[in-house]
Amino acid sequence: MSSSLWRRLAESGPFWMIVAGFCFGVMGVFVKLGSSSFSTAELVFYRCLAGVIAILAVALPARRPLWVPWPAMRVHLTRSVSGFVSLMLYFYAIGHLPLPTAVTLNYTSPLFLMLLTALWLKQPPQAGQWLAIVVGFAGVALLLRPTLDATQWLAGVVGLSSGLLASIAYMNVHELGRLGEPEWRTVYYFSLVSSLGAGLVMLCQPQALTPLSFGNLWILLGMGVAATCAQLSMTRAYCKGKSLIVASMAYLTVVFSTLFGMLIWRDVLPVSSYAGMLLIVGCGILSTAASSRR
């Protein structure tokens, strides 16, 4: 690749969102691989600990301030706790559902975000936005219908709940942006709180902890590297590109996860599931576009 082409790509928001979507998909692969050996809390702990270490390695030498005044800290804590619980639910769903199904359910967050905006901020959706919400959740029904059996219905509800809590986290991210908080500090507190929360859950079940070995360490390293690269790429994408275009391209994670599921686990979902995924992604993009105009 020529240096001039690389420079152009390095300044392209869509390019970095493609990288982020790919890396988030790779992270999902490692989470699913690790779910057979590690508990959900362990996976969340190691994933977020990698983020804490990566940010501290950059922030401390540059003497960037980590502490913030209480009004901003309160929002950081709300965002971090909701994000932590959402991540726990998301990783559980990945371990118990086909990868593309779990990822798509988590990406219902824009639909929930529009509903929460109407309830909390008293900004009722317009007719077209209501249609996007209704059609989007019809897609959820199509996606979950084949999995609502005795063994997977709970995982489906958990995956959908992760999307709901993620929407609460995103509302707080927006508030932090309004307060002038940098993205790296938002990611830092989320990673820190999630590491501590997952660590407490692990301490409550010490007998269930999985010893680290060369046979499983590569899964944790792969997950941590992929998650950190995804976070950094997504942050750069929003800095370099137009927010609406970049946010819409975030749904590439669903595409990559579907391809990984087919290649690695031979996941072939019913036609109705793929139709549901298309409805969720399409309505999610419309919801994102509507939210950006507010």
- pLDDT at residue 244, as a whole number: 61
CA dihedral in degrees (50, 251, 128, 90; nearest 10)? -40
- pLDDT at residue 292, as a whole number: 57
Residue with tokens 């959402």: 86
CA dihedral in degrees (277, 280, 283, 288; nearest 10)? -110
State the Cα–Cα distance between residues 71 and 28, nearest whole angstrom.
Answer: 34
- pLDDT at residue 151, as a whole number: 64
- pLDDT at residue 177, as a whole number: 82
With contact defined as beta carbons under 8 Å apart, do 108 and 165 qualify? no
For 150, the 3-state DSSP assignment is coil
With contact defined as beta carbons under 8 Å apart, do 91 and 44 qualify? yes
- pLDDT at residue 272, as a whole number: 86
Q: Which two tokens stand for residue 151?
A: 């063994």
- pLDDT at residue 130, as a whole number: 80
Over the chain (294 residues), what is each successive 10-residue block's mean pLDDT? 68 84 96 96 96 92 92 94 97 95 92 82 73 88 68 87 93 86 90 97 91 94 91 77 71 93 91 90 80 56
pTM of the model: 0.91
- pLDDT at residue 131, as a whole number: 83
